[in-house]
Amino acid sequence: MCDRLRWHTGEPTLSLRPMHLTRLLLFCLLIPAAGIAATPAATPAPPSEAQVQLEAIIQRQQKLFAQAERAKKADNFDPEQFQVSVQDICYQYNDWLRRHPKIAGGYLAYGLLLAKINMTRESTDMLLKANALDPNIPQVKNQLGNFLAEEGKPIQAASYFLAAIRLDPNEPLYHFQLGTLLLNARDDFLASNAWTRAGLDHTMYLAFKKASELAPDNLNYSYSFASCFYALEEPDWNEALGAWKHVEKLCKPGLEQQTIWLQEANLLIKLGKDKEAKVLIGTVDVPQLAEQKQKLVALLSETGNK
């Protein structure tokens, strides 16, 4: 995780990887969109044969990718055999969809597999079909937003991320995606004249904050929230300091934690708390941070001479 903890606050890259398939089972086992109707909660219908078959394909896919990860770690991964196995699963999805063309979950599951193997255009086609059958699947909205962001269409991507949030406001990933998009493509949003700088800053701030609140133990979300204050026109440095202190709790002792100490020291200087900053800087003893540490020492000297 050390490569995520940079001294100079960079802008986090948009997370474009599809959600893990274990998160999809409830959505991939949907009944046909035309048949979605309220049923008594106390007497759920047993899974249909189509649902059972789809779940079996998903489980085979999960097993295949898990085995591939283990093989890569053991340095005995066979890419040709993996490709053959993936192709076989694709055939299974195609056959299943031929027999059940009105079930949105099948297109979703297949679309995410295609995204996983970098078949972006084909994946998008599958997800658009899922969206047409059922416009209320947040994973579909999120993935379509990812594709639009990859294609350099941030304005359109934002509408899909916002739709995903409306459908599932308690999923931190969707808030994180929106915040990262607004951060990385701020110039596009401002140029559209649909956003003011203040509105953009506020929406981005709230998105990162919500993601970190929903998943407080996620270092990526918490780090991004703490970092976003540097991009705000009118940042609250006291709140930013609190956010970095939370990140500190999630980091390992040593390089990771001391990197965050330097972030905190930088904010203490901004807040005029030079003595506290000096003490904190003095605790940093990791050689890799010597240059960054010296920059803060020099900054302290400058502020002390003002």
% of the chain surpassing 70 pLDDT: 84
User: What pLDDT score was predicted for residue 303?
Assistant: 76
Answer yes or no: is 245 within a domain. Answer: no
Q: What is the DSSP letter of 33?
A: G
Q: What is the pLDDT of residues 204-247, one digit of tens each?
A: 999 999 999 999 999 999 999 999 999 999 999 999 999 999 99
User: What pLDDT score was predicted for residue 304?
Assistant: 66
Phi/psi region, residue 104 (left: phi>0; alpha: psi -120 to 50; beta: rest), is: alpha
- d(Cα 213, Cα 99) in Å, to the nearest integer? 43
Answer yes or no: is 121 within a domain. Answer: yes
Answer yes or no: is 113 within a domain. Answer: yes
Domain residues for the domain of 98 are: 16-32+50-135
Answer yes or no: is 68 within a domain. Answer: yes
Answer yes or no: is 84 within a domain. Answer: yes
Answer yes or no: is 124 within a domain. Answer: yes
Answer yes or no: is 269 within a domain. Answer: no
Phi/psi region, residue 298 (left: phi>0; alpha: psi -120 to 50; beta: rest), is: alpha
Q: Cα 276 to chain center, whole Å?
A: 34
Q: Write the CB contacts of 99 (distance below 8 Å, at least 6 apart in sequence).
A: 50
CATH assignment at residue 81:
1.25.40
Answer yes or no: is 243 within a domain. Answer: no
**72 in helix, strand or coil?**
helix
CB 77 within 8 A of CB 71: yes
Q: What is the pLDDT of residues 279-288, one digit of tens each?
A: 999 999 999 9
As for how many domains the chain has, the answer is: 1
